[in-house]
Chains A and B, each alone.
Chain A
Amino acid sequence: MTGYTFVEKALARAAGASGARAGDILDVTPDVIFSHDNSAAIRRIFEKIGAPRIAHPERVAITLDHAVPAPTTQHAQNHAEIRQWVREQGIRHFFEVGRGICHQVISEEALVLPGETILGADSHSTHFGWLGAFGMGVGRTEMAALWATGMLWIRVPDAMRVTLTGRLPFGVTAKDIALRIIGDRGADGGQYRSVEFLGDALASLSLDERAVLPNMMAEFGAMSAYLPPDQAVFDYLETNRTRDYTPLYPDADAHYADDSALDVSLLEPQIALPHSPDNVVTLSRAVGQPVQQAFIGTCTNGRLEDLCAAAAVLRGHKVHCRLIVIPASAQVLLEATRRGYIETLLEAGATITTPGCGPCMGNHMGVPAPNEATISSGNRNFRGRMGTPDAPVYLASPYVVAASAIRGAIADPREFLS
Chain B
Amino acid sequence: MSEHRVWVYGDHVNTDVIFPGKYTYTLKTPDEIAAHALEDLDPAFAVGVQPGDVIVAGRNWGCGSSREQAVTALKYVGVPVLIAESFSGLYFRNCINQGILPVVCSGLRDVVRTGDTIMIDRLSGEIHAAGQVFAMPTLSPSVQAILDAGGLVPMLQRRFGESAR
Contacts and interface: CB of A to CB of B under 8 A. Distances in A.
Given A23-B137, A27-B142, A145-B156, A139 B97 contact: yes
A191 B86 CA distance: 10
Interface stretch (B29-37, B73-81, B157-165): B157-165
B47 interface: no
Contacts of A50: 156-157, 160-165
Interface string B142-165: 110010000011001101111111
B157 A48 contact: yes
Interface string B67-103: 0000000000000000000111110111011000000
Interface string A182-220: 000000100110000000000000000000000000000
B133 interface: no
B2 interface: no
A290 to B, nearest CB: 31
B66 A139 contact: yes
Contacts of B66: 139
Among B104, B146, B156, chain A packs the most CB atoms within 10 A around the CB of B156
B93 to A, nearest CB: 7
Contacts of B1: none
B15 interface: no
A149 interface: yes
A135 B91 CA distance: 19
A49 B94 contact: no
Given A27-B140, A139-B94, A145-B152, A51 B88 contact: no
Contacts, number: 76
B89 A221 contact: yes
Contact of B60 (A45, A49, A151, A188): A188
Contacts of B104: 23
Task: Give the interface residue-count category, chain A.
Answer: 20 to 34
Given A153-B143, A155-B92, A192-B88, A148 B156 contact: yes
A153 B1 CA distance: 27
A218 B96 CA distance: 21
Contacts of B97: 139, 141-142
Contact of A139 (B86, B93, B163, B164): B93
A168 B50 CA distance: 58
Nearest to A155: B92
Contact of A25 (B90, B139, B156, B164): B139
Q: Closest 4 A-B residue pairs measured CB to CB?
A: A50-B164, A192-B89, A50-B160, A25-B140
13 contacts: A23-B137, A27-B142, A45-B153, A48-B165, A51-B164, A139-B94, A141-B97, A144-B153, A191-B63, A191-B89, A192-B86, A192-B88, A221-B89
Given A49-B156, A50-B156, A192-B88, 20 more contacts: A25-B139, A48-B165, A50-B157, A50-B164, A52-B160, A52-B164, A139-B90, A141-B153, A142-B93, A142-B97, A142-B152, A149-B156, A153-B96, A153-B143, A191-B86, A191-B88, A192-B87, A192-B89, A221-B89, A223-B89
